[in-house]
Structure 1
Amino acid sequence: MKRRDFLLSSGAAALGLAAAGRLLAQGPATQELVIQKAAYRFRDSITQGLVSLSPDAPPPVLRGRVGKPMRLAVTNQTPDYTAMHWHGLRIPNAMDGVPYLTQMPIAPGETFTYDFTPPDAGTYWYHPHCMTMAQMAHGLTGMMVIEEDSDTGFDSEETLNLRDFRLADDGSFLPYYTARGAARGGTHGNVLTTNWDQDPVYDHTAGSLVRLRIANTDTTRIYRLHLGAAQARIIAWDGHPVRQLLALPSADAPLYLGPGQRVDFALRMPEGEGQDVSVIAELPGRKTRIMAQLRSIGASLARDLRDLPPLPENPVALPDLDRADMLEFVFGWTPEGGAPNDGLCGSLGYSFWSINRTPWAGDAATGTGPLAVLKRGKSYVLRLRNESPNLHPIHLHGLVFVPIRSNRRALPPLLTDTALLLKDEVIDIALVADNPGDWAFHCHVIEHQKTGLAGYIRVT
């Protein structure tokens, strides 16, 4: 979309939003979110130049309730442009936070207010979609919890935001990407954190039932996770309840959690004071790493996992495979070079990757059409073909899909918004195109996204 066309259409939309704002004057309280520079102690020194919603803390867990309106006023106090995306939420297209596709970037000193009503409960997260690599690599990733409208039976909750940083010994930032990394699997950080801390310990009552929410908000790293010595089960995946019993991850069969993906566990705390449950990461080429520990304290509550009721289902339409059309998308290297035109939202200066052998021309490029046009209300099967040796977590905004087959492994039919493609893997996913708009479709290894592996799908 040309900038002039966007401004004309957004002006009309603004009038509608203003009217809606007057009607909602007695509605939800506005949550004020200020994107700003921050500092934090990771090792023995304080790291300056972070980006957060607080001057000295990681981005907070934002909370809402299913079916209840939310109003989030995002003010940009950095010198760069930005925009905020609410990863996994099926909300109106105008609130999705993708610059040039759904809104103009938020300039320094400006405020953009996001108004939406989340239709689904679950674990989600938020991050910028303008200056994406720079701002995410410097800390601007946070978790979002949309609570159910009924009691889920837990005694407490823990949220774990997994991500790493690239820091020198003195705490200063190393370059947040490399051309070599962008052209391969991505550039890993060297300081692994959970909620910006290393090896944190969180206390919960002995014998209690804890809802453990884990999100991978990293720009690159794929975690292979399992829980040490725990009574637990997986209850939700990428925000949506799991209706079948899934094998608990182990050291021999860890759970792969790619950038953008989330998993919820129901966990029973150990009986004894001081006993703990470890969240363990198996990292290729590195020592096994304990990302966090949950420690039992106090007298036991003697709860049982069987006390928990099933999580209420989210109102997701299931695809009709007998009437579904198939579309194919090929993810791989780009056959041509050139730097994307990302306007005010930053470019890494390279094109390494492509969808359907065409690299994304950039956020601000004109004349770039959708990868596909889907008819509203119709079912589709999208064939995702990875023609590279690298892994790609493919994320689709605004819609929910279900994997139905893979050429490399058995995939449980879990509702999701992000599919992790293995080397040479072909995955068929099915969905109902029930949310109109232009929806970003990209790899969530941000170096891949910003060097060509991106586009959008239009739902009419």
Structure 2
Amino acid sequence: MPSLSRRTLLKTGAGLAAYGIGLGAAAFAHRSAEAANSVELEAATGDALLDGQHLTHGVMTYRRKDQAEMLMPPTLRMRKGERFSARLTNRLDEPTTIHWHGLRIDNRMDGVPFLTQPYVYTGDSFDYSFVPPDAGTFWYHPHCNTLTQMGRGMTGMLIVEDPADQTFDADIAINLRDWRLGSDGQFIEMFKPRDAAKNGTFGTVRGANWQIRPDYHAPSGGLVRLRLVASDVTRIYQLKLEGAEALVIALDGQPVPSPFMAENVTLGPGQRLDLVLRMPDTEGATVSLIDTRPSAPKTVALFHAHGQNLKRMLGDVKALAPNPWQEPDLKGAEQVPLILSATAENAARDSFCGSLGYSFWAINRVPWPGDTSDPMAPLAELKLGKSYIFNLENLTPHLHPIHLHGMNFKVISSSTRKVPEAVTDTYLVAADEKVQLALVADNPGDWVLHCHIIEHQKTGMTSYIRVT
């Protein structure tokens, strides 16, 4: 769940041709594609203008087979409760998959090699088919060689629509991510071991939708649904808006019970935020989305008011309908310890997430896969339909966005902050924080639990939960 300031809580384009050049206002100000029941995707490579100056070679991406000239992964739209199918054909020189981040779907469709499905090897295809039970903003990415494949571009947005949702004057999807590029615009090493043992290795070029500070147009005085996904492998964003006000209507794909004013919102890798932005009344006025972390503020996107003033009001915004959710029985819930810690540096073993050759991090003091009698055993075995409380304790001085596949949980208490009553799949746990996460084990299968700072994931802070 994205982290919100205490004050906030108290207040209750796409790529052009093969080069990734932004299309500006028309690409995202209105829905770029209707919800679809099926799509054919190719994992492929190409060249893209990522830093605004140089053509970067060796970009990795998912592209629609019928729109092969569009290099940035498409924003996929589907409908809540309707079956969606996607055929993935692998044109890369290495295996890959698709994980549908945040979707509570059949375990066979979760996209984790060897745990839920085989690799999709070069030239092969895999058919994904599922019915999304939740409306909201999600995303998709591989679970193979993740640091390289995600770091080079394989992160796309996914929107599940609910026809009953309020209609807004524009719907803008923003994919926030960094690139590790040298001065010539070419990829450099994806990680440094010393940084992987701390906060992670940051990118050198900060962008949104594969552009540097893209510009979007929206109606003056209109209400804009702004969907944000932090799909970076490392960066944690501290976001604020200048030039307009906005309401938070959903966190990590799940509606909040009552919309509240957006001020400073922290988004870690894997997390999502839905805002309703009220555009300025004056044509030509600009709204800036600014990242203030870690030091010098940086504008990541701009929104320009245009046309006749629609005179819409934030007071017109209603809460989104909640997604289906079974409240856990807190009194009868079984306690599950989850201790996040550092570990002595050792050579790591390979696992379903691959290896960087190091072991820096651990869950329950064991790096994955651990030096135990069965290093590939699940972290915990849960009974289908039973309630559990994960007692998550961060013993490190670093932030960790902890993501659970296949199920949602509710944050019920924290030792360091007031937390909103929200359902989520990714929680950004603070340094030295103890937090309780409650859930009903309602989806059978083996479900990965890991830190979504990919260097942390691949150097020990990962495991899986078994539900039977």
The amino acid of 1:280's aligned partner reads I
Task: Determine if contact 2:368/2:375 at 8 Å carries over to the other structure.
Answer: no
Q: Does the alignment pair 1:371 with 2:379? A: yes
* C-alpha distance after superposition, 1:321-370 (max 9, x if no partner): 12211111111112462222137x642111111111111128xx976111
Query: CA–CA distance in 1 between the matches of 2:197 and 2:444?
Result: 33
Q: Does the alignment pair 1:264 with 2:274? A: yes
TM-score by length of structure 2 reads: 0.88
Within the candidate set 31, 38, 42, 1:34 is matched to 42
The amino acid of 1:309's aligned partner reads K
SS of match in other structure, 1:83: coil
The amino acid of 1:328's aligned partner reads P
Task: Determine if contact 1:52/1:140 at 8 Å carries over to the other structure.
Answer: yes
Task: Determine if contact 1:340/1:451 at 8 Å carries over to the other structure.
Answer: no
Query: CA–CA distance in 2 between the matches of 1:78 and 1:119?
Result: 31
Within the candidate set 173, 182, 207, 1:193 is matched to 207
The amino acid of 1:69's aligned partner reads R
Q: Report the alpha carbon displacement of residue 144 of structure 1 after superposing the two structures with TM.
A: 0.3
Task: Determine if contact 1:154/1:308 at 8 Å carries over to the other structure.
Answer: no
Task: Determine if contact 1:165/1:191 at 8 Å carries over to the other structure.
Answer: yes
* C-alpha distance after superposition, 1:240-289 (max 9, x if no partner): 1111344421xxxx21100000000011111111112111110213x201
Q: Does the alignment pair 1:273 with 2:283? A: yes
Q: Report the alpha carbon displacement of residue 43 of structure 1 after superposing the two structures with TM.
A: 2.7
Map of 1:77 onto structure 2: 91
SS of match in other structure, 1:452: coil
Task: Determine if contact 1:225/1:280 at 8 Å carries over to the other structure.
Answer: yes
Task: Determine if contact 2:259/2:319 at 8 Å carries over to the other structure.
Answer: no
1:222-241 pair list within 5 angstroms = 222-241=236-255
Q: Report the alpha carbon displacement of residue 310 of structure 1 after superposing the two structures with TM.
A: 2.5
Q: Report the alpha carbon displacement of residue 153 of structure 1 after superposing the two structures with TM.
A: 2.2
Map of 1:290 onto structure 2: 299
* C-alpha distance after superposition, 1:145-169 (max 9, x if no partner): 0001224121110011000011011
Map of 1:451 onto structure 2: 459
1:210-229 pair list within 5 angstroms = 210-229=224-243
Map of 1:145 onto structure 2: 159
* C-alpha distance after superposition, 1:207-259 (max 9, x if no partner): 1111000010000000001111322100000001111344421xxxx211000
Query: CA–CA distance in 2 between the matches of 1:75 and 1:181?
Result: 34
Structure 1: which 5+ residue stretches go unaligned? 1-27
* C-alpha distance after superposition, 1:289-346 (max 9, x if no partner): 1110111111111112233333111011111212211111111112462222137x64
Map of 2:388 onto structure 1: 380
The amino acid of 2:347's aligned partner reads G
Q: 1:245 to 1:312 in 2, by over 3 A?
A: closer
Q: Report the alpha carbon displacement of residue 29 of structure 1 after superposing the two structures with TM.
A: 4.8
Question: Which aligned segments of 4 or more residues in structure 1 are displaced greater than 6 angstroms?
Answer: none
Within the candidate set 123, 128, 132, 2:146 is matched to 132
Q: Does the alignment pair 1:431 with 2:431? A: no
The amino acid of 1:281's aligned partner reads D
Within the candidate set 412, 421, 425, 1:404 is matched to 412
SS of match in other structure, 1:207: coil
Map of 2:109 onto structure 1: 95
Query: CA–CA distance in 1 between the matches of 2:331 and 2:255?
Result: 25
Query: CA–CA distance in 2 between the matches of 1:340 and 1:301?
Result: 59
Within the candidate set 337, 340, 345, 2:349 is matched to 340
CA RMSD in angstroms, aligned pairs only: 1.6
Q: Does the alignment pair 1:313 with 2:328? A: no
SS of match in other structure, 2:277: strand
1:37-52 pair list within 5 angstroms = 37-41=45-49, 42-52=51-61
Query: CA–CA distance in 1 between the matches of 2:260 and 2:341?
Result: 31
Query: CA–CA distance in 1 between the matches of 2:243 and 2:398?
Result: 32
SS of match in other structure, 1:47: strand
Query: CA–CA distance in 1 between the matches of 2:298 and 2:188?
Result: 22
1:152-191 pair list within 5 angstroms = 152-191=166-205
Task: Determine if contact 2:37/2:82 at 8 Å carries over to the other structure.
Answer: no
Task: Determine if contact 2:216/2:303 at 8 Å carries over to the other structure.
Answer: yes
The amino acid of 1:67's aligned partner reads G
Task: Determine if contact 1:207/1:268 at 8 Å carries over to the other structure.
Answer: yes
Task: Determine if contact 2:151/2:233 at 8 Å carries over to the other structure.
Answer: yes
Q: 1:411 to 1:36 in 2, by over 3 A?
A: same
SS of match in other structure, 2:424: coil
Task: Determine if contact 1:153/1:308 at 8 Å carries over to the other structure.
Answer: no
Deviates more, 1:220-229 or 1:239-248: 239-248
Map of 2:62 onto structure 1: 53
Q: Does the alignment pair 1:417 with 2:431? A: no
Query: CA–CA distance in 1 between the matches of 2:302 and 2:246?
Result: 14
What percent of counterpart residues are identical? 47
Query: CA–CA distance in 2 between the matches of 1:330 and 1:151?
Result: 39
Query: CA–CA distance in 2 between the matches of 1:310 and 1:274?
Result: 30
Query: CA–CA distance in 2 between the matches of 1:319 and 1:193?
Result: 39
Query: CA–CA distance in 2 between the matches of 1:149 and 1:278?
Result: 30
Map of 1:393 onto structure 2: 401
Query: CA–CA distance in 1 between the matches of 2:318 and 2:362?
Result: 44
* C-alpha distance after superposition, 1:61-102 (max 9, x if no partner): 011000010001111100011111000000000000011110
Query: CA–CA distance in 2 between the matches of 1:247 and 1:389?
Result: 30
Query: CA–CA distance in 1 between the matches of 2:261 and 2:265?
Result: 10
Structure 2: which 5+ residue stretches go unaligned? 1-35, 64-68
Q: 1:56 to 1:178 in 2, by over 3 A?
A: farther
Q: 1:241 to 1:29 in 2, by over 3 A?
A: closer
The amino acid of 1:447's aligned partner reads E
* C-alpha distance after superposition, 1:352-408 (max 9, x if no partner): 11111111128xx97611101111111111011111111100000001011111111
Task: Determine if contact 2:414/2:434 at 8 Å carries over to the other structure.
Answer: yes
